């Protein structure tokens, strides 16, 4: 599923990647992303550390969500991720064409990530 945020022109273009299955420890998934997931996934580093946000997962009280800013060869990209017992995914907010980062705040990015997650998941 591809999600497009229809806000201001300089808000970036979100891309969502997710998977489903049986995940026993959502907190461990998020810790892995915070520690080395960005290097593994994007060959980049955290310009702004990956921090926990309120998951507000309607289907899983143990759900987790976090956001940070990735530095990939000098291009900054906000990245949020979620994990629960049935799904995990990331939302990357691609910079606008001039390479400048999205003007979204972390709170706005987290809310857009919750919206994408909730649209993609159903209770099990």
Q: Could you tell me the mean pLDDT of each successive run of 10 residues in the chain, 124 residues long?
A: 50 78 94 77 78 92 93 83 93 71 83 91 70
The rounded distance, in Å, linking the Cα atoms of 54 and 111 is: 9
114: left (phi over 0), alpha (psi -120 to 50) or beta: alpha
Instruction: Return the pLDDT at 39.
Output: 62
> Which pLDDT belongs to residue 120?
84
């Amino acid at each position: 599923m591809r999600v497009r945020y229809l806000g201001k022109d300089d808000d970036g273009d979100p891309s969502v990647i997710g998977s489903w299955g049986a995940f026993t420890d959502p907190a461990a998934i998020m810790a892995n992303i915070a520690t080395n997931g960005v290097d593994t996934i994007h060959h980049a580093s955290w310009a702004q550390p990956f921090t926990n946000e309120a998951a507000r997962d309607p289907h899983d009280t143990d759900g987790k969500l976090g956001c940070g800013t990735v530095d990939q060869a000098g291009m900054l990209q906000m990245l949020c991720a979620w994990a629960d017992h049935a799904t995990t995914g990331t939302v990357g907010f691609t910079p606008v064409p001039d390479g400048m980062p999205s003007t979204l705040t972390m709170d706005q990015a987290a809310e857009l990530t919750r919206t994408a997650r909730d649209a993609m998941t159903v209770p099990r």
